């Protein structure tokens, strides 16, 4: 279960919440801090006010050339100097999940350029994607981003580009939680 992560919203934690906003669908209850643990939720003692759970997995859409480019450019979480993070859980609508693999790929990349947009902000904006839909939680994906404070503007620009894409017309719920390291 080492691929499992728990995100606990509560009164205290390693990351202080600076802003929480619901861009689509229901908001999450306001909390003061977030703790991210590399543990399944069943192992978590202090469950805070709410808990989200997801797992990292194999890459679902990237083709070979994209994978190679990503691997050459991306950096991991936990870099020195990184004081800002964002936790963005997303739920897609049933129409998305009714699509076939090549239909999802076409919307994800050929029409929305999801990987290509993310690549424009590497290595400054590090990200880790967690899958949550298979666990029956309220969200399908939980993405954790890390960046230095001076890259907040380009982080916002990246999100604007993604949110203007065709893929985002399938997003039923999205909460954007901004975090500062304690």
Site residues for a second copy per CB under 8 A: 1-4, 42, 55, 57-64, 66-67, 97, 100-103, 105, 131, 133-136
Minimal distance, residue 96 CB to a second copy, in Å: 9
Q: Pick between residue 13 and residue 54 the one whose CB is nearest to a second copy.
A: 54
Q: How far is the CB of 105 from a second copy (least distance, A)?
A: 7
Helix, strand, coil in percent for the chain, rounding step 5: 30, 35, 35
32 or 72: CB nearest a second copy: 72
- Give the pairing type, strands 33-37 and 84-92: unpaired
- Residue 58 or 153 having the CB closest to a second copy: 58
Q: Give the residue ranges of DSSP H helices in the chain.
A: 64-73, 94-98, 101-105, 114-120, 152-163
Least distance to a second copy from the beta carbon of 76, Å? 18
Q: Are 89 and 52 in contact (CB under 8 A)?
A: yes
């Amino acid at each position: 279960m080492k691929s499992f992560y728990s995100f606990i919203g509560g009164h205290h934690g390693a990351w202080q919440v600076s802003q929480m906003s619901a861009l689509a669908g229901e908001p999450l209850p306001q909390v003061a801090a977030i703790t991210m643990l590399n543990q399944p939720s069943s192992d978590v003692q202090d469950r805070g006010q709410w808990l989200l759970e997801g797992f990292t997995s194999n890459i679902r859409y990237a083709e070979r050339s994209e994978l190679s480019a990503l691997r050459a450019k991306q950096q991991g979480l936990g870099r020195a100097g990184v004081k800002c993070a964002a936790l963005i859980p997303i739920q897609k609508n049933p129409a998305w999940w009714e699509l076939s693999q090549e239909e999802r790929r076409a919307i994800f990349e050929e029409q929305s350029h999801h990987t290509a947009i993310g690549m424009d902000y590497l290595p400054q904006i590090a990200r880790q994607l967690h899958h949550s839909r298979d666990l029956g939680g309220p969200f399908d994906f939980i993405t954790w981003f890390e960046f230095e404070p001076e890259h907040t503007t380009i982080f916002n620009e990246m999100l604007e580009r993604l949110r203007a894409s065709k893929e985002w017309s399938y997003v039923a719920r999205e909460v954007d939680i901004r975090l500062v390291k304690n």
